[in-house]
Amino acid sequence: MAIWLDQAAEGFGETFAAFLTTKREVSDDVNDVVKAIIADVRARGDAALADYSLRFDGIDFSDVPMRVTPAEIDEAAAKVAPEVMDALRLAAERIEKHHARQMPKDDIYEDALGVGLGSRWTAIEAVGLYVPGGTASYPSSVLMNAVPARVAGVERIVMVVPASGGAINPTVLAAAKIAGVEEIYRIGGAQAVAALAYGTETIAPVAKIVGPGNAYVAAAKRQVFGTVGIDMIAGPSEVLVIADANNNPDWLAADLLAQAEHDPGAQSILITDDAALGHAVMSAVERQLKSLSRSETAAASWRDFGAVILVKSLADAVPLANRIAAEHLELAVDDPDALMAGVRNAGAIFVGRHTPEVIGDYVGGSNHVLPTARSARFSSGLSVLDFVKRTSILRLGPEQLRALAPAAIALAKSEGLDAHARSVAIRLNLEG
Amino acid sequence: MAIWLDQAAEGFGETFAAFLTTKREVSDDVNDVVKAIIADVRARGDAALADYSLRFDGIDFSDVPMRVTPAEIDEAAAKVAPEVMDALRLAAERIEKHHARQMPKDDIYEDALGVGLGSRWTAIEAVGLYVPGGTASYPSSVLMNAVPARVAGVERIVMVVPASGGAINPTVLAAAKIAGVEEIYRIGGAQAVAALAYGTETIAPVAKIVGPGNAYVAAAKRQVFGTVGIDMIAGPSEVLVIADANNNPDWLAADLLAQAEHDPGAQSILITDDAALGHAVMSAVERQLKSLSRSETAAASWRDFGAVILVKSLADAVPLANRIAAEHLELAVDDPDALMAGVRNAGAIFVGRHTPEVIGDYVGGSNHVLPTARSARFSSGLSVLDFVKRTSILRLGPEQLRALAPAAIALAKSEGLDAHARSVAIRLNLEG
């Protein structure tokens, strides 16, 4: 059973502050193991990959090639139900259209002095996409990572996915095919991250690695960060639903459980100004839990981290929402725009009663890779911007240099940097 | 003496590849020390800050307040030479104008189905700016970090700067004043990073920490990452100059030395198609080294990491530049635009012979916080984007939900997520 917090109760401020800092993840310290694996892959390349894949995934690269063949991808796609293929295609198309609008534009201009300034955006040349194995192997995540990379103009997208026991989820390969990913290796874990970062005989290195993974993958991404770029390190999923009295409790319960079924560390929170609705949703959750295939996971998440927060007025929900800074925020209220105007910290907002968060997981068009664990206070969901980088441009002629030189020389001297001052002064026969 | 690489020589490919992977930083393993300091600041707050400041900076907070007073800031600014104050004001104004153009725009729209989609940008609420003490305490860096944060709309900018022996560089305080930073604490090291991330009795926590620092500061930033956002972890500075025969060797030598004087780990590289120019620049570097106040640092950098690379043609310089992915790239050639078109990986490009990189350090208007150590392959310099975050927005009515529901349900079921399917189906009385 989730906790019940009442804004009107004594000590709510402290209770809420404590609730905010609840840890939902056991972070295993796997750094040493991961360090050794990375060093081994750097030293022995493919041979190390073969050893780890045999040991961890039970796959022998003398029987099966490390790289997934085009025929295998086609065969996998042929196995997927037509309605799922259609759904993947619809999702890919909507993701592509939405993300195409995110492409930043170059801005090259001259200022009043005649100084040329600018920003030029270019795609990252090669990106690695980690896809987990087993039940966390989500085809929708392949689309959410690969399509924006493709839209950004990344030429080489390399997917790695562990073939636990030899098998790769065919829908994952179908999603890769739809997203135009052709370079796929059946490797996983820290060894796959190391191979992407440093390269092996078979795999050329990439410049950035994205995608979710277990504790080993997360630790490996942290360790190779700097050599390559990485996306965020995502924690368990979370949803915050703000709801007024005019809601069907069953709809809201379903939304809360859709997060809870992801992970025992997932978190589902309802904020409402109506105690009766709060109680009705709690009952509905208990009822719906019974018929879920992942009821054990969902029940654990709801029991350990679920919460219903009763507020005096809906306006009071907004500052709480900003402190929670949820990955997903649903506004199931009569006037969602009024609340939305005050929301500042949220990964994504789902507006109105007919926008369940799940639509955003799959076919809304927006990205489902979003900041978790309150990091929406300082970071954003995955977008085309994660696959491009900006080069700044400066262009002076002799006249502009003359205009700016005295200030540059004064600052260089005040910082004790002689050679800096000279680099400007020497071009104008000034004293440096 | 720097190394000389000749594209025409046998084994150039291997030599260049080895040159690319040269490590220029000794990364001290200070993680355990930093971990203990962070834990202590979390546990004891201000008392821990007082202890560390006494021990490391020789400053006693029972004599001097931790927070720098407004009077102190005004007095510091009054001590700074008027031409330096003017130069700081000019720099701040140019940085502000340039960065204002970088503000991303909200994009809220309806697609053909009538689905509302969008991206909304908001400023991070509170940002901490770390400023190193001692000789690395650069007023220009205060402007480069604080002005973009201000432009982004960050309401609270907190500066920390260690007062080694009690003193803070007055020009740093003057720069803070010009940038509108009023909340300044005389603390530094890992303890200052911990205070910004977790807060103490005196210091409210921030959501993101930016700014350069030593190995302890860098390790602390890595450790608090997740609780707060951080900017890049910058390594030693570097410049790549591509030059044709028509250059004054003294100008180029001054540019190479302007990087070299920063740090023994800094790197200055010249690529030219003219051997005579290469030799002339090398001689000029030796000559100019003698008259620098930081000649020891610059000589060490040039000796250990400096390089002149002779190419057969200027066009051959471009792929090498993309592999080097330099923080700063100067194009000192007759037709810089021809080369620039092919450059993909560079933090900033300085176009033409009259644009010494040093102008960008101070008064160009572009940011001088740029990706080092080849990270321009996957990341960008500091900009307004580092101080805002994007919330994505999705809005469906009943009609749009009906249109997208079947695909969402098909994907949810194929991923084995019952509650996801139900959350959509239940709203339409469909089978979930």
Q: What is the CATH number of the domain that holds B423?
A: 1.20.5.1300
Phi-psi region of A11 (alpha: psi -120 to 50; beta: other; left: phi over 0): left
pLDDT at B431 over 90: no
Q: How many CA atoms lie within 13 A of B175 on its CB side?
A: 30
Instruction: Classify residue B25: in a domain, yes or no.
Output: no
Q: In whole angstroms, how far apart are CA B275 and each of A365, B71, B181, B253, B362?
A: 55, 58, 50, 15, 32
Cβ-contact A309, A320 below 8 angstroms: yes
Note whether A288 contacts B88, CB cutoff 8 Å: no
Is residue B232 within 8 A of residue B225, CB to CB? The reply is no
Which of B377, B396, B420 faces A207 most closely, judged by CB atoms? Answer: B377
Residues A190 and A72 in one domain: yes
Task: Answer yes or no: is pLDDT of B285 > 70.
Answer: yes
Task: Say which DSSP state A264 is in.
Answer: T
Parent domain of A416: 396-428
**Shortest CA distance to B187 belongs to which of B387, B41, B33, B369?**
B41
Best probe of the A interface among B391, B399, B400, B413, by most A CBs < 10 A, is: B391
Residue A69 is classified by DSSP as P
Residue B64 lies in a domain: yes
Task: Determine, yes or no, domain membership for A257.
Answer: yes
Q: Is residue B303 part of a domain?
A: yes
**Is B267 part of any known ligand binding site?**
no
Q: Above pLDDT 90, what percent of chain A? A: 92
Contact list, B247 vs chain A (CB under 8 Å): none
B242 within domain boundaries: yes
Asked if residue B130 belongs to a known ligand binding site, the reply is yes
* CB proximity B400 to A under 8 Å: yes
Q: What is the pLDDT of residues A345-404, one digit of tens each?
A: 999 999 999 999 999 999 999 999 999 999 999 999 999 999 999 999 999 999 999 999
- DSSP conformation class of B384: G
pLDDT tens digit sequence for A98-115: 999 999 999 999 999 999
Q: Which helix (H) or strand (E) holds A425?
A: helix A418-425
Report the residue from B250, B357, B432 with minimal CB separation from A426.
B250
Chain B, window 257-296: residues with a beta carbon less than 8 angstroms from a chain A beta carbon: 257-258, 260-262, 288, 291-294
Contacts of A12 (CB under 8 A, 6+ apart): A5, A6
Looking at the predicted structure, is the pLDDT value of residue A286 above 60?
Answer: yes
Report the amino acid identity of residue B318: V
Q: Which residues of B touch A223 (CB under 8 A)?
A: none
Is residue B363 within 8 angstroms of chain A, CB to CB? yes
Tell me the HSE value of B14 on the side-chain side, using a 13 A CA sphere: 3
Is it the case that residue A16 has pLDDT exceeding 70?
yes
* A341 in reach of chain B (CB within 8 A): no
pLDDT value of residue A431: 59
Domain end point (choices A208, A230, A252): A230
Of residues B98, B99, B328, B368, which has the active-site annotation? B328
Residue A223 C-alpha, separation from nearest chain B C-alpha, in angstroms: 11
Domain shared by B132 and B154, yes or no: yes
Q: Is A60 on the interface with B (CB under 8 A)?
A: no
The answer to whether residues B88 and B62 belong to one domain is: yes
A428 touches A403 (CB < 8 A): no
Average pLDDT over residues A293-299: 96
**pLDDT at residue B432, rounded to an integer:** 56
Please tell me whether residues A266 and A324 are part of one structural domain.
Answer: yes
- Residue length of chain B: 432
As to burial, measured by CB atoms within 10 angstroms (0-12 exposed, 13-18 middle, 19+ buried), residue A128 is: buried
Q: Does B12 reside within a domain?
A: no
Residue to mutate among B83, B384, B411, B413, with most A CBs inside 10 A, is B411
Told to judge if B96 belongs to the known catalytic residues of this protein, a careful annotator would answer: no
Binding-site residue ranges of A for Zn(2+) = 259, 262, 361, 420
Q: What amino acid positions of A are annotated as catalytic residues?
A: 327-328
Q: What are phi and psi of A276, to 5 degrees?
A: -60, -45
Res. B425: pLDDT tops 90: yes
Q: Is B410 on the interface with A (CB under 8 A)?
A: yes
Give the pLDDT of residue A432: 55
A230, A264, A285 - which closes a domain:
A230
Read off the pLDDT of residues B182-197 as tens digits, 9 standing for 90 and up.
999 999 999 999 999 9
- Averaged over A395-418, what is the pLDDT? 97
Q: Is the pLDDT reported for residue B113 higher than 90?
A: yes
Residues A225 and A93 in one domain: yes
Note whether A58 and A73 are same-domain residues.
Answer: yes
**Cβ of A218: how many Cβ atoms within 10 Å?**
23
The H-assigned helical ranges of A164-294 are 170-178, 189-198, 215-224, 249-260, 275-289
Query: What is the pLDDT averaged over residues A172-179?
Result: 98
Interface predicted TM-score (ipTM): 0.96
Query: Which H helix or E strand runs over B94?
Result: helix B82-100
A190-204, B152-166, B232-246, range with greatest mean pLDDT:
A190-204
Decide if A418 and B392 are in contact by the 8 Å CB cutoff.
no
Residue A133 scores a pLDDT above 80: yes
Claim to verify: residue A197 and residue A160 sit in the same structural domain: yes
Strand partners, A270: A241, A308
Of B364, B391, B397, the CB nearest to A115: B364
- The Cβ of residue A112 has, within 10 Å, a number of other Cβ atoms equal to 6
Same domain (yes/no): A340, A246: yes
Choosing from B183, B238, B327, B357, the catalytic residue is B327
Q: Measuring CA to CA, how many Å separate B125 from each of A102, A135, B187, B386?
A: 24, 38, 22, 12
Contact by Cβ (8 Å): A222, A193: no
**Given 3-state DSSP classes, what are the helix, strand and coil percentages for chain A, each rounded to the nearest 5?**
50, 15, 35
Question: Which pLDDT tens digit goes with each residue over A88-101?
Answer: 999 999 999 999 99
Please indicate whether, in this complex, the C-beta atoms of A395 and B251 are within 8 angstroms of each other: no
What's the rounded mean pLDDT across residues B11-15? 96
**Tokens 């009943």 label which residue?**
B398
Could you tell me the CATH number of the domain that includes residue B294?
3.40.50.1980
**Can you give the pLDDT at residue A142?**
98
Query: Same domain for B267 and B300?
Result: yes
Tell me the nearest-neighbour CA distance from B383 into chain A, angstroms: 10
Q: Is residue A387 assigned to a domain?
A: no
**For position B22, what pLDDT does the model report?**
87
Residues B211 and B240 in one domain: no
Q: Looking at the structure, do residues A252 and A154 belong to the same domain, yes or no? A: no
The verdict on residue A247 lying in a domain is yes
Å between B96 CA and nearest CA of chain A:
13
Q: What pLDDT shows up at residue B25?
A: 77
Last residue of a domain, one of A203, A230, A257: A230
Best to test chain A binding among B414, B428, B429, B430 (most A CBs inside 10 Å): B414
| Residue with tokens 């050329």, as numbered in its chain | A204
- How many other C-beta atoms lie within 10 A of the C-beta of residue A147? 28
User: Which helix (H) or strand (E) segment is A127 a member of?
Assistant: strand A126-130
Sheet holding B238-243, edge to edge: A107-110, A116-123, A388-395, B348-351, B328-332, B238-243, B267-272, B307-310, B3-6
Mean pLDDT over B380-409 rounds to: 98
Asked if residue B64 and residue B98 are part of one domain, the reply reads yes
Number of folded domains that form chain B = 3
Q: Do residues A195 and A201 lie in contact, with contact meaning Cβ atoms separated by under 8 Å?
A: no
Which positions ≥6 away from A361 have C-beta within 8 Å?
A: A140, A368, B408, B411, B412, B420
Beta bridge partners of A391: A120
The mean pLDDT value for A168-178 works out to: 97
User: Does A181 score more than 60 pLDDT?
Assistant: yes
C-alpha angle B44-A25-A18 in degrees, rounded to nearest 5: 45
What mean pLDDT comes out for the span A250-262?
97
